[in-house]
């Protein structure tokens, strides 16, 4: 029987300690904010902690799975995801006007959530698989692999998720060495496409959200209300903030969705610019540590996947903060690891579990 230390090493051996420390700091900060954002509701804080524990456990387990094993799952998971999306399109449940949910009898799932990890995994796997003979055609195929799920999700309609999944695929292609000419060309084409999308493809409510961003005062009690109140909350926080649990915007119910999408406004109102600097610094440190781990990944699949995961993490933070401070249109994106919600918490930490696994399993991998 080996000593306990052996088992501990087996269990925690694939955890990156600096990254874990940074994540835990962020989670602790998140608990502090949650207490205030929930109107000092201890039950909500406890439930937030439960979500965290589950997600950390999932991260630990995933960190133990060697990248080769993950690679084996890439294709089946992707195909399963596509089938589920097809199921949603055919027999999905409609909630709030969008067809996003699939009822499996026991429970309802939202397959688009599932694709957030499945798509970058698939693309990374494909480029890895073809790396010996990589040519332009492969990037076209990869783009098609990306476009399929995005198309389904656009149809639901769920523009926000579609854009985020597109971004995750784009990150893989970018890190995979897509030539700069194509990148710039795609960016130009995207800009040219915007007016067409605006006129023909966007739904009214989506147009409304963008217009509202340009001039929220046009409809201060309707659609623009959330943004105005959130901006007031942030602005009135000043340099030092109004103090923990003392934000008037938050506590008097002017802010919508205080524990989920708009939790940053609560934080920013109560802890001010100083608090924002601390939070952004923490996020920046996590991102750089993540990129550092990705840089040391032993094979192409690992490099592409973990790089894309870290960049997605950044994207969520940026989109959420941009949204609540009135820089970006309202997209339902939670603030990673801070907002209330188990699914998002698990997805993000499982992502970091993959990053850790990829970075620490190198000895076993032949490149």
Partner 1 sequence: MKNHYRLINPEEEFHGYRQRLRIAGIGATLLFLVLLGRFFWLQVLEYERYQSLAENNRIALVPAVPSRGSILDRNGAALAHNFSSHTLEITPSKTGGLDETLAGLADIVRIEPGDLKRFRRLLAESKNFESLPIRAHLTEEEVARFAVNRFRFPGVEIRARQFRQYPFGESFSHVVGYIGRINQKDVDALSEDGLLANYKGTDHIGKMGVEKSYERWLHGKTGIEKVEIESSGRPVRILSRTPPMAGHAIYLHLDSQLQQVAEKVLGDYRGAIVALDPANGGVLALVSRPGFDPNLFVDGIDPVNWNLLNNSPDHPMINRALRGAYPPGSTIKPFMALAGLELGYRKPGDTIVDPGFYSLPGSSHRFRDWKKDGHGLVDLKKSIVVSCDTYYYQLAQQMGIRNMHDYLARFGFGRKTGVDLDGEMAGVLPSPEWKRKRFKQPWWPGETVIAGIGQGYSLATPMQLAVATMILANNGTVYKPQLIRAWRDPATGKVSMAAPEVMDQVQMRPDYLEIIRQAMVDVTRPGGTAAASAAGAPYAIAGKTGTAQVIGIKQNERYDEHRIAARHRDHALFVAFAPAEAPRIVVAVMVENGGSGSGTAAPMARKVMDYWLLGKLPEALRAEEVEAIEAEMAESDDLEAAPETPAPLPHSEMSDAPD
Q: Which residues pair with 102 in a beta bridge?
A: 109
Q: Please check whether residue 245 is in contact with residue 269, taking contact to mean a CB–CB distance below 8 angstroms.
A: no
Cβ atoms 342, 226 nearer than 8 A: no
Give min distance, CB of 96 to partner 1, in A: 5
Among 84, 102, 119, 175, binds partner 1 (CB under 8 A): 175
Give least dist CB 88 to partner 1, A: 16
When asked if residue 280 is in the footprint of partner 1 (CB under 8 A), the reply is: yes
Residue 95, strand partner residues? 98
Nearer to partner 1, 35 or 80 (CB): 35
- The answer to whether 235 and 265 have CB atoms below 8 angstroms apart is no
* Nearby residues of 154 by Cβ (< 8 Å), 6 or more positions away: 162
Return the residues of window 31-60 that contact partner 1 according to CB under 8 A: 39-41, 43, 47
Q: Which of residues 218-247 bind partner 1 (CB under 8 A)?
A: 221, 225, 229, 231-239, 245
**Applying CB under 8 A, does 289 fall inside the site for partner 1?**
no
Q: Does 325 bind partner 1 (CB under 8 A)?
A: yes
Q: Does 179 bind partner 1 (CB under 8 A)?
A: no
CB contact at 8 A, 294 and 358: yes
253 in contact with partner 1 (CB under 8 A)? yes
The CA–CA distances, whole Å, from 46 to 31, 35, 163, 173, 343 equal: 9, 9, 33, 40, 16
Q: Under rule CB under 8 A, how many of the chain's residues touch partner 1?
A: 62
Q: In whole angstroms, what separates CA 118 from the centre of its chain? A: 13
Q: And the tokens for 96?
A: 């709030």
Q: What is the chain's Cα-based Rg?
A: 21
Q: Would you say the C-alpha torsion 11, 16, 17, 22 has a positive or negative sign?
A: negative
- Beta carbon nearer to partner 1, 276 or 360: 276
Q: Answer yes or no whether residue 131 interacts with partner 1 by CB under 8 A.
A: yes
Using the rule CB under 8 A, is 303 a contact of partner 1? yes
Separation CA 238–CA 226 (nearest Å): 20
Min dist. Cβ of residue 64 to partner 1 (A): 25
Instruction: Please report, as residue ranges, which positions from 85 to 104 form the binding site for partner 1 (by CB under 8 A).
Output: 95-96
Least spacing, CB of residue 15 vs partner 1, in Å: 22
Q: Positive or negative CA dihedral for 226, 227, 231, 234?
A: positive
Give the interface with partner 1 as residue ranges (CB under 8 A): 39-41, 43, 47, 95-96, 108, 131-136, 171, 174-175, 177, 221, 225, 229, 231-239, 245, 248-249, 251-254, 268, 272-273, 276-277, 280, 283-284, 287-288, 291, 294-295, 300, 303, 307, 311, 314, 318, 321-322, 325-327, 367
């Amino acid at each position: 029987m080996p000593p306990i230390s052996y088992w501990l090493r087996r269990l925690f051996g694939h955890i990156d300690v600096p990254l874990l420390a940074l994540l835990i700091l962020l989670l602790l900060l998140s608990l502090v904010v949650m207490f205030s954002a929930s109107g000092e509701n201890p039950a909500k804080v406890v439930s937030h902690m439960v979500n965290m524990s589950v997600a950390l456990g999932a991260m630990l387990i995933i960190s133990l799975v060697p990248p080769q094993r993950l690679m084996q799952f890439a294709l089946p998971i992707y195909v399963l995801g596509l089938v589920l999306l097809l199921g949603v399109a055919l027999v999905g449940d409609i909630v709030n006007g969008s067809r996003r949910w699939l009822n499996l009898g026991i429970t309802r799932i939202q397959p688009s959530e599932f694709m957030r990890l499945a798509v970058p995994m698939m693309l990374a796997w494909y480029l890895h698989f073809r790396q010996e003979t990589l040519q332009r055609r492969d990037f076209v195929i990869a783009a098609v692999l990306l476009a399929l799920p995005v198309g389904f999700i656009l149809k639901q309609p769920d523009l926000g998720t579609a854009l985020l999944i597109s971004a995750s695929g784009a990150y893989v292609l970018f890190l995979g060495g897509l030539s700069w000419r194509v990148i710039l060309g795609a960016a130009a084409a995207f800009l040219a496409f915007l007016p067409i999308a605006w006129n023909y493809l966007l739904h009214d409510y989506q147009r409304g959200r963008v217009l509202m961003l340009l001039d929220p005062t046009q409809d201060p009690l309707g659609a623009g209300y959330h943004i105005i109140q959130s901006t007031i909350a942030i602005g009135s926080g000043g340099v030092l903030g109004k103090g923990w649990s003392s934000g008037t915007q938050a506590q008097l119910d002017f802010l919508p969705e205080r524990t989920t999408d708009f939790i940053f406004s609560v934080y920013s109102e109560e802890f001010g610019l100083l608090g924002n600097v601390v939070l952004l610094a923490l996020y920046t440190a996590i991102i750089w540590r993540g990129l550092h781990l990705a840089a040391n990944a032993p094979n192409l699949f690992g490099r592409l996947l973990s790089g894309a995961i870290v960049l997605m993490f950044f994207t969520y933070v940026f989109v959420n903060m941009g949204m609540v401070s009135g820089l970006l249109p309202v997209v339902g994106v939670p603030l990673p690891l801070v907002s209330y919600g188990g699914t998002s918490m698990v997805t993000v930490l499982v992502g970091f579990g993959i990053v850790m696994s990829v970075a620490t399993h190198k000895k076993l991998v032949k490149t």
